[in-house]
Structure 1
Amino acid sequence: MTRCEQPGCTGIVEDGYCTVCGLAPDSAVTAAQAPDPGPEADGPPGTVASAASGTVASASSGTVASASSGTVTGRVRRGSSRSRSNRSERSGRGRLGAGLVTIAPVPYRDPSTAIMSDPQVPEQDRFCSQCGKPVGRTRDDRPGRAEGFCPHCGTGFSFTPKLGPGELVAGQYEVLGCLAHGGLGWIYLARDRNVSDRWVVLKGLLDSGDADAMAAAVAERRFLAGVEHPNIVKIYNFVQHPDPRSGEEVGYIVMEYIGGASLKELRSKRNAEGRLEPLPPAQGLAYMLEILPALGYLHSRELLYCDFKPDNVIQSEEQLKLIDLGAVRHRTDLDSVGFKTDGYCAPELELEGASVESDLFTVGRTLAVLTFAFDYRKTYRHDLPPAADVPVLQRHPSLDRLLRRATAADPDDRFGTAAEMAEQLTGVLREVVAAEEGAPRPALSAMFGPERAVFGADPADRPATLGPAVVAQALPIPLVDPADPAARWLSSLGDDPDRLVTLLEAAPIPSYEVELALARARVAAGALADAGAGLDDLEQHEQADWRIGWYRALTALAGGDTGSARTAFDAVYGLLPGEAAPKLALAAATECDGDPDAAGALYDLVWRTDHGYPSAAFGLARTRLAADDFDGAIAAVESVPESSSQYLAARLTAVRIRVQAATEPHLVAAGQLLTELALDPERKARLDIEVLGAARELAAAGTAGGPVLGCPLDDGALRAALEQRYRTLARLAPDQLTRRALVNRANDIRPLSWV
């Protein structure tokens, strides 16, 4: 990677062109600069050695090699979300943070300063490559040997670099020194004399006599030859050079130098108490969102990464690079030695082999390690601590659900593709950023349509507006798969439930989407038993997915079984933690089930993230009213923006809540709000009567103050104002009988006088 040489341009040349000005470089490639190094290594050999960066991304402790006995293929699963996202599997420069969060760039510096002055493997990190037991340790006050034979199995070991400064490899690469060491070998910085003295990295074997390590190196060369992705380290060459001890030829991979810091290093900062400081959750999510397309690219080529962890991702400027592809294998490869890192690898890896799901498991584990502290190598080696013990998971429940799905014990319960995981991760990132910044981060869903209707718009009238059946008809519905053969025909149908049932039962193009639409239509038509039977049949369909659970929940809610609906919607939320619709549905079912506190937390989660769901604002107001939090309820409905079609309804709801609160400040504010709203005369008069009536009761209790709609809290003045509103309604009455009743009411309420 090189800087653009156009005057005044700050861009970087990638793929032959500048990322800012778009021009090709005019002169020779200059040396890239890299950030300050932070070399460290914390584990035994046996993992894949990381590609070098300006800082060291070393092997992690607990990393061992294991024989693969099989693979798990990515198949359609009943619990899978099967996202139909159009999100690309490829990633380009400049999207770090997805436009939602700002990630500080990691600057470049001269890579030559990253060279280790005294390249040694610490004794605590020396392990036999064959049996994994400690070797080269101090005994009887004698320092451990850097070379020798394992006392347990007799395998030879060597922890000394094979290349020294100034040595010329393959007549082309001048070695400058060591950058790092890893499970498969030393990593060297070199200068490519044949290509404008560009910086390159040479990665060799720790022990050329290790057959497994040699095989892994060969595998890396084979797979990397055709890999080309902007978030994956580039491989330039593969060369051989004689071992200075044995004279045997040793292979070296030549790859690009990535100047930056590993995620492990970015996570290694300590607070004032000396404890490791986790990354902000939004930053961790942004990192995973940036790197998932690289894994998706590998998966699309039938390759599995196998050993994803913070050590193997480098941030350079504003871009991430996936490095160290030594563990990459083909999905059908059952024989090659596998490499994994304890605390990150999936529990089934040794017995069942690697899979797309096991790769995504490591992404979930990496995100967890980056964003909160827990004993991920022992106590929680394959699972996560309870959310109650982790403050960040309590603050962000959707993050908790995302992590638990990604790291589920059963591979069938995890995300099935990198794109699917990225889609949900994006939704969770929006939710986290909205919570932390206090501003909504809306986005169109790729899986659900909008609300079909706003339910419960008047918190003061809950029984009439929040019946479970009403909610079932108002909730968003999942989108139809456009690839389904009946998709176009389904889009042409109307909304009448009974007619829809008739049409769908005689559909000219039978398909999975038709059966789902039929279940939905039966729910709307009240044929709940038929809907349930149809969903039972769909469970056996090869395309069975999460939408069956959604429609089961909808069926239960329409039938008034709020407990079952709550359980089913909760399961969908677990599968789709980044979607707003499941949270909204779960909130409504929870409220109908008599748990306003839990419902309020979910309504708040939806509303603060996306103001496109006004039912959540009204729901939040209702749940706050249930706790007699009048001001909180008012704030909820008054947060509905003026651009919303529910703006007027929300303001009128705020008036009614103030009337219900019935304090002098609330009634004064209610009157001011009514004065500001553009209402028809009849509606205005009726609402005025509600406010003035409450003010009269307050005045009767001896409260002074005001004015309320221009009247002080005085019985006579309030009676006169009420008389005026009743006479206005009488003039607007549609018939003589109604007019007479309103005139009589006006006469009854008018203050006493001699006239």
Structure 2
Amino acid sequence: MPGAPVEGGPPVPPQWRAETQEPLRRPPGPSAHDPAAEEWPGRPGSGPSSGEGSGSGHMRLSGRSGPGRSSGGTAALLGAGASGRSSSRPTSRGTLGMGLVQVPVVPYRDPSDAVMTDPVVAEKNRYCGNCNEKVGRRRGELPGRTQGFCRRCGTRFSFVPKLVEGDMVGGQYEVLGCLAHGGLGWVYLARDRNVNDRWVVLKGLLNSGDAEAHKAASAEREYLSQVEHPNIVKIINFAQHPDPQTGVPSGHIVMDYVGGKSLRELLLERRGSGGQDGALPLDQVIAYGLECLRALGYLHSKGLLYCDFKPDNVIQSEEQVKLIDLGGVRRMDDTESAVYSTPGYRVPEEEIVRSGPSVSSDLYSVGRALAVLSFRFSFRRRHPYTLPPRDAVPVLRRYESYDRLLRRATHPEPERRFHDAVDMAEQLTGVLREVLSDMEESPHPAPSSLFGAESFSAADLGAHDADRLLSPPPPTRAAGVLPAPVIDPADPAAQLLGGFVSLSPAELVPTLRAAPSPTPETRLMLVRALITEGRRLEAMDALHAFGQTMPGDWRTMWYMAVMELGDGEFGAARAHFDELYSHLPGELAPKLGLAMAAEHTGGHETAAELYRTVWTTDHSYVSAAFGLARIRRAQGQRSRAIEVLDTVPELSSLHVHAQTVLIALLVTGEDLRDVDDFLQAGERLGRIRLDSESGERLAARVLEGALDWLRRGGRPDTSVRLLGTNLTEEGVRTNLERRYRSLAHWASSAADRYVLVDKANSLRPKTLL
């Protein structure tokens, strides 16, 4: 809760900074809500500590992840239209967990149990509201005074509750006692005698001599009267009551009572019960974060900044989460009012003094709160504005995407953070799906709002060459498989371009170039068509034109990385995909691109982890399964490669391709010692129903493996039949000869036909006739 100004007084004592808010001032200047500040330059070495590569020094990435998004879209996506007063005891289910996470219910707290028996302000928190001097402190054996005058400036102070049990505020609200106290004042529980004796909360001033507190309370009343959101406490009224000492009427804000526990209380309970690492479960933390982003997005859409987000100000009651303290809320265009914030959660002071609070500083505080809730670290003293190294925190080591999201949200450069609550929520949702997929060992897919699906050519889908599928894809094919960014629906040509999906790249290029007034999306589609056609210089020119039209758009870097991957410039591609991963930590496409580049540069462990993350999260990215299988095979882990391929769903268009590779892995390799491998390969081959030529070719592969196994000491077994013949050398040779002669009929050239016939003849068993 907000406290006293720090300007004009001594440095704020560390013990007070550690437990309370404090306001800062900045000189008048332009509005903090400056669209120009939402772009950031990419520069080498500027990524998060967990990143592997450096970004491009000549590109800029916008702070926004979604092109063409407006604040109106923010409000709609975050449920800003939802409204309605909360009842005295909420009974409806909230959106907490999004249906993905089972968050433990926090029982509704009976208001009468929450009343303090001895409402006292701790001496360490007593400061003059005018000059910030220590007041009301103990002298020797004498306890500190709870009211009096500041020795430094003479301002009156009082830390005694202004209301006592039985007081009737505004002739309507009967006070039952104090609930809590903080910088802005005492919080009281009361009954509304005019409306069914419902429970309400009264919030008054801590110190009648504190001019800043009066201002903040008045501002809170104004802002709260505009707020209607299920995740924000509802203001009911504003009432006055005479000060018991001066007789001067003092204001009290009347709010709904939210009976539950703050996220800080839940965290402390977890630590008290010996919870792992003294933190809340990560999926639960993310669920809280998403709900809070809904509330903050709503405030931002109304032109308001929260300014003081922290776990103390978020209450869970049953299955709902609410922001309860709007004491620091201010308008985006307010350049005069003091800024109330809390050490450990707020941006660096020099940023506030220089440019004031902003959407990015609000989201910075969300990132800090997520970190505090999900792992234990010295967030006020050792890391007041930083995060510990990833390697030092188990949860960050395990979930790199979460680490990158936190580092983007809390980046020291404001331009490099999130600048939109919807963008942050979308990326955080993607991270949640990755976390749940790992925790529950089952995919949690969802369509991306930024990328389409993987793209496989007819040649890719028609080939069943196991050796080719087991090899790293050529650069041009790897670049073609990657998902493409979706068309921005706000683009004037979006509907027209959507009808071009059936055209080939060769047809698209002249069609797009004929556009009289090319839109940004027209230029971008031309870039992709030229890349697919292998016309890099022309693609670079088109991408440059797009970059000039849409400076800071992350898709410029995306297509640059795709071009570099297609041209075999793997180091440069890896650096750009790595930067995109940090910018879009919840998206799978950048991870897939980074994995492909890392695989080509020898970073097999990195590539394997990225492929694994993509595949375990969403089984529609089948190229990730092939990539992970390739690396496991290269590492000598044949069984693990088979396990991966066997998880490709039967409904996938690449299921047969995966089974083709799996069968080849079953029957080849120096470590084969089990007849069951061949029987399983034969059984799978019969199930996938390949066309005649592909089926014969794969059958020959199985029989070749069996023959090699028998020659290396495998035990023949006349009781076992493999692809229609006994598992003996004679039976396998006869079967293999027939397969080669069959393949010779489909040979595309005479030379190939002769090779196959020669193989058949060499395998023919020797006879006396």
- Does the alignment reach a TM-score above 0.5? yes
Structure 1 residue 257 displacement after superposition: 0.3
Which AA in structure 1 matches 2:560? Answer: R
Q: Kindly provide the amino acid, as one letter, of the partner of residue 722 in structure 2.
A: L
CA distance in 1, matches of 2:728, 2:5: 83
Distance in 2 (alpha carbons) for counterparts of 1:458 and 1:376: 55
Aligned to 2:24, the other structure's residue is in SS state strand
2:63 aligned residue: 80
What is the CA–CA distance in structure 2 between the aligned matches of 1:44 and 1:139, rounded to whole Å? 27
Instruction: Please give the residue correspondences for 1:258-277 in structure 2 after superposition, counting only pairs within 5 Å.
Output: 258-268=258-268, 269-270=270-271, 277=278
Tell me if 1:671 matches 2:648. Answer: no
Q: Is the 8 A contact 1:74 1:356 kept in 2?
A: no
What one-letter code is carried by the residue in structure 2 that aligns with 1:723? Answer: E
Distance 1:664 1:47 in 2: 77
Residue number among 412, 415, 422 corresponding to 1:409 in the alignment: 412
Paired with 2:750 and 2:579, the residues of 1 have a C-alpha distance of 57
Match of 1:15? Answer: none
**1:236, 1:254 within 8 Å by CA — same for their partners in 2?**
yes
Task: Please state if 1:639 is matched with 2:647.
Answer: yes
1:433 corresponds, among 431, 436, 446, to 436
Whole-Å separation in 2 of the counterparts to 1:555 and 1:735:
36
In structure 1, C-alpha distance between the alignment counterparts of 2:749 and 2:346, rounded to whole Å: 77
What is residue 235 of structure 1 aligned with on the other side? 235
Per-residue deviation, residues 153-203 of structure 1 (Å, max 9, x unmatched): 444322211111111111111000000001100000000111110100000
Q: Residues of 2 paired with 1:201 and 1:130: CA distance?
A: 27
User: What pairs up with 1:138-287 in 2 under 5 angstroms?
Assistant: 138-268=138-268, 269-270=270-271, 277-287=278-288
Q: Does the Cα contact within 8 Å between 1:101 and 1:283 map onto a contact in 2? A: yes
Q: Out of 465, 472, 475, which is 2:479 matched to?
A: 472
Deviations 1:469-491 (A, max 9, x none): 11112211111111111222322
- The verdict on how the C-alpha distance between 1:695 and 1:355 changes in structure 2, with shifts beyond 3 A counting, is same
TM-score normalised per structure 2: 0.86
Q: Partner amino acid for 1:445?
A: S
1:467, distance to aligned residue in structure 2 (A): 1.3
Query: Cα deviation per residue 1:514-573 (whole Å; 9 max; x = unaligned)?
Result: 222222222222222232234334434355411111111112112211111111111111
In 2, Cα distance between equivalents of 1:278 and 1:134: 34
Residue 650 of structure 2 corresponds to residue 650 of structure 1: no
Matched, 1:445 2:448: yes
* Matched residue SS, 2:668: helix
Farther-moved stretch of structure 1 (209-218 vs 473-482): 473-482
Match of 1:28 in 2: none
Q: Distance in 2 between matches of 1:708 and 1:416?
A: 65
Give the structure 2 partner of residue 292 of structure 1: 293
Aligned-residue offset at 1:407: 0.9
The corresponding residue for 1:33 is none
Match of 1:352 in 2: 355
Match of 1:13 in 2: none
Deviation at 1:739, TM superposition (A): 6.5
Secondary structure of the corresponding residue to residue 178 of structure 2: strand
With over 3 angstroms needed to count, the CA separation of the structure-2 counterparts of 1:638 and 1:271, relative to structure 1, is farther
CA distance in 2, matches of 1:672, 1:201: 71
- The counterpart of 2:604, out of the listed 593, 596, 599, is 596
What's the secondary structure of 1:135's corresponding residue?
coil
The reply on whether 1:703 has 2:714 as its aligned counterpart is yes
1:437-475: CA deviations, max 9, x gaps?
Answer: 011011111111111117798773269761111111221
The answer as to whether partners of 1:59 and 1:182 remain within 8 angstroms in 2 is: no
Amino acid at match of 1:326: G
Residues in 1 aligned to 2:33 and 2:467: alpha-carbon distance in whole angstroms: 53
Name the CA shift for 1:506/1:677 in 2 (closer, same or farther; >3 Å): closer
Instruction: After TM superposition, give the deviation of residue 736 of structure 1 in Å.
Output: 8.6
The 3-state SS of whatever aligns with 2:714 is coil
Q: Aligned-pair distance for 1:136?
A: 2.5
TM-score by length of 1: 0.88
Asked if structure 1 preserves the Cα contact closer than 8 Å seen for 2:536 and 2:563, the reply is yes
Alignment check: 8 A CA contact 2:310 2:365 kept: yes
- How far, CA to CA, are the matches of 1:680 and 1:519 in structure 2? 37
Q: What amino acid does structure 2 have at the position aligned with 1:79?
A: S
Aligned equivalents of 2:380, 2:470: Cα separation in 1: 52
Match of 1:61 in 2: 19
C-alpha distance 741-538 of structure 1, shift in aligned 2 (>3 A): closer
User: Bigger shift: 343-352 or 649-658?
Assistant: 343-352
Q: 1:734 to 1:218 in 2, by over 3 A?
A: closer
d(CA) in 2 for partners of 1:107, 1:379: 35
1:409 is paired with a residue whose SS is coil
- Once the two structures are superposed, the pairs formed by residues 111-126 of structure 1 within 5 Å of their partners are 111-126=111-126
Change in Cα spacing, 1:628 to 1:460, as seen in structure 2 (3 Å) is farther
| Inter-partner Cα distance in structure 1 for 2:748 and 2:482 | 36
- Partners of 1:681 and 1:72 lie apart in 2 by 68
Identify which of 367, 370, 373 aligns with 1:370.
373
Establish whether residue 506 from structure 1 lines up as the match of residue 514 from structure 2.
yes
CA contact (8 A) 2:464 2:694 kept: no
In structure 2, C-alpha distance between the alignment counterparts of 1:271 and 1:61, rounded to whole Å: 19
**1:54 counterpart residue number:** none
Q: Which amino acid aligns with 2:225?
A: A
Looking at structure 1, the residues matched to 596 and 78 of structure 2 have their Cα atoms a distance apart, in angstroms, of 35
Separation (CA, whole Å) in 2 of partners of 1:377 and 1:736: 78
**Amino acid corresponding to residue 265 of structure 1 in structure 2:** E
Q: Give the RMSD, CA atoms, in angstroms.
A: 2.6
What is the identity percentage for the equivalent residue pairs of Structure 1 and Structure 2?
49
1:459–1:622 Cα contact (<8 Å) kept: no
- Which has the higher mean CA deviation after the structures are superposed, 679-688 or 218-227? 679-688
Matched, 1:619 2:633: no
1:482 matches 2:489: yes
Query: Contact 1:512 / 1:543 at 8 angstroms: preserved in 2?
Result: no
2-side partners of 1:587 and 1:739: how far apart?
40
Task: Determine the C-alpha separation between the residues in 1 that align with 2:707 and 2:420.
Answer: 64
The equivalent residue for 1:536 is: 544
- Using the alignment, how far apart are the partners of 2:118 and 2:363 within structure 1? 37
Deviation at 1:218, TM superposition (A): 0.7
In the TM superposition, what is the alpha-carbon distance from 1:636 to its structure 2 partner?
A: 1.0
Superposition deviation, residue 674 in structure 1 = 2.0
Given the alignment of the two structures, is residue 748 of structure 1 paired with residue 749 of structure 2, yes or no?
Answer: no
Mapping of residues 557-596 of structure 1, within 5 Å:
557-596=565-604
**SS of residue paired to 2:452:** coil
| Runs (5+) with no aligned partner, structure 2 | 7-15, 40-60, 83-92
CA shift at 1:689, angstroms?
1.7
The one-letter code of the counterpart of 1:718 is: V
Give 1:53's aligned residue: none
Does the Cα contact within 8 Å between 1:284 and 1:370 map onto a contact in 2?
yes
Moved more, 525-534 or 592-601: 525-534
Q: 2:702 aligns with which of 688, 691, 702?
A: 691
Offset from partner CA, 1:404-432 (integer Å, 9 cap, x none) = 11111111111121111111111111111
Equivalent residue number for residue 559 of structure 2:
551
- Find the aligned partners of 2:647 and 2:276 in 1 and give their Cα distance: 40
Task: Answer yes or no: is the 8 Å Cα contact 1:664–1:705 preserved in 2.
Answer: no
Change (3 A) 1:135 1:604: same
Q: Is the 8 A contact 1:146 1:159 kept in 2?
A: yes
Unaligned runs of at least 5 residues, structure 1: 1-42, 49-57
Kept in 1, the 8 Å contact 2:2–2:327? The answer is no
